[in-house]
């Protein structure tokens, strides 16, 4: 994910963390080809021209003709073959202790989560002081970028600054106005009502939001707020999951069920379709 567009000659110069990632982690040397996204979302191939002690010099070319060295026009990433047509999947994650949030971010990004919205729950130990939110968000954005580069995820996972539960509910109402068929899932132990992910996801939601609590779960008042906002409570049996495990477990279950919907969705017999018409 390139921080700046190439110059008029199609050349890029990478230093700092980008240099370290490509040269020290990916072991790029002169002649190496790698895929990249420009800041405007266009997809390119980059051929490493030279590597010195602090700068990597590369030449951009079109993804379909890397050997020709043709630089432009680059293809937009949205013009690439679509891998799936899943709805956006959002993670509403209560702030956990210590460095657990870093792990959650990496796993959610690799798992194809569209957006992560951290919030301060009643049982959250971390408290965001004035001025800290932006610094944390910038750090989290770097973690997401590294996770996307490592996994090759084609989903541009984004993250927002931490907010309160009240602000989260306001955001959810905004989302529902944009996506009338939005589905909210509340991971809660024990479940408050009978219902499973397959049942909820069979409604073909336009957007799915998964809410995960911190260590200790949600406070009773917070559960009431989520339920009043239309979230469906789901539990995974008697096993008590850590918050970082619950986020991965729930997001993976939702994504896999949606990916395999063609194999488990009820099939309508052809004669019933004809009679309905």
Q: What is the pTM of this model?
A: 0.76
For residue 241, tell me if it sits in a domain.
yes
- Given a cut of 50, is residue 164 above it in pLDDT? yes
CA pair distance 240, 237, nearest whole angstrom: 8
CA pair distance 38, 66, nearest whole angstrom: 16
For residue 126, tell me if it sits in a domain.
yes
Q: Domain with 239 in it: what CATH number?
A: 3.40.1280.10
157 and 259 co-located in one domain: yes
For residue 3, tell me if it sits in a domain.
no
29 and 71 co-located in one domain: yes
Q: Domain with 47 in it: what CATH number?
A: 2.40.240
Identify the residue with better confidence: 157 or 216: 157
- Given a cut of 70, is residue 156 above it in pLDDT? yes
pLDDT bracket for residue 78 (50, 70, 90): very low
| In the chain, % of residues over pLDDT 70 | 83
Which tokens in the block code for residue 139? Answer: 């750090």
CA pair distance 184, 187, nearest whole angstrom: 10
For residue 6, tell me if it sits in a domain.
no
For residue 93, tell me if it sits in a domain.
yes
95 and 230 co-located in one domain: yes
Report the domain count for the chain.
Answer: 2
Mean pLDDT of 107-126: 91
pLDDT for res 132 = 64
45 and 95 co-located in one domain: no
57 and 95 co-located in one domain: no
CA atoms within 13 A on the CB side of 120: 11
Average pLDDT over the chain reads 84
Identify the weakest region by mean pLDDT among 63-72, 87-96, 165-174, 184-193. 63-72
24 and 142 co-located in one domain: no
Q: Are 225 and 165 in contact (CB under 8 A)?
A: yes
pLDDT for res 68 = 44
Q: Are 256 and 159 in contact (CB under 8 A)?
A: no
Q: Which domain holds residue 67?
A: 11-79
- Given a cut of 50, is residue 52 above it in pLDDT? yes
pLDDT for res 63 = 66
């Amino acid at each position: 994910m390139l921080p700046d567009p190439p110059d008029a000659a199609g050349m890029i110069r990478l230093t700092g963390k980008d240099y370290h990632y490509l040269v020290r982690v990916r072991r790029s040397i002169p002649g190496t080809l790698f895929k990249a996204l420009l800041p405007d979302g266009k997809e390119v191939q980059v051929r490493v021209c030279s590597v010195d002690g602090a700068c990597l010099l590369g030449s951009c070319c079109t993804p379909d003709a890397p050997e020709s060295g043709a630089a432009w026009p680059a293809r937009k990433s949205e013009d690439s073959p679509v891998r799936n047509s899943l709805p956006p999947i959002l993670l509403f994650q209560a702030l956990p202790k210590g460095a657990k949030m870093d792990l959650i971010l990496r796993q959610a990004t690799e798992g194809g989560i569209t957006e992560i919205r951290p919030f301060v729950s009643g049982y959250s130990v971390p408290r965001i002081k004035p001025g800290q939110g932006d610094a944390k968000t910038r750090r989290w954005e770097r973690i997401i970028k590294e996770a996307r580069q490592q996994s090759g995820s084609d989903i541009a996972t984004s993250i927002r600054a931490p907010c309160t539960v009240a602000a989260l509910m306001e955001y959810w109402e905004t989302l529902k106005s944009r996506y009338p068929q939005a589905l909210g899932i509340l991971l809660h132990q024990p479940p408050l009502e009978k219902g499973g992910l397959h049942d909820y996801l069979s409604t073909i939601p336009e957007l799915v939001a998964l809410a995960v609590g911190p260590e200790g779960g949600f406070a009773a008042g917070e559960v009431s707020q989520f339920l009043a906002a239309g979230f469906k409570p789901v539990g995974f049996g008697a096993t008590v999951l850590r918050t970082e495990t619950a986020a991965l477990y729930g997001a993976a279950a939702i994504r896999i069920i949606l990916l395999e919907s063609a194999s488990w969705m009820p099939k309508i017999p052809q004669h019933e379709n004809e009679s309905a018409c």
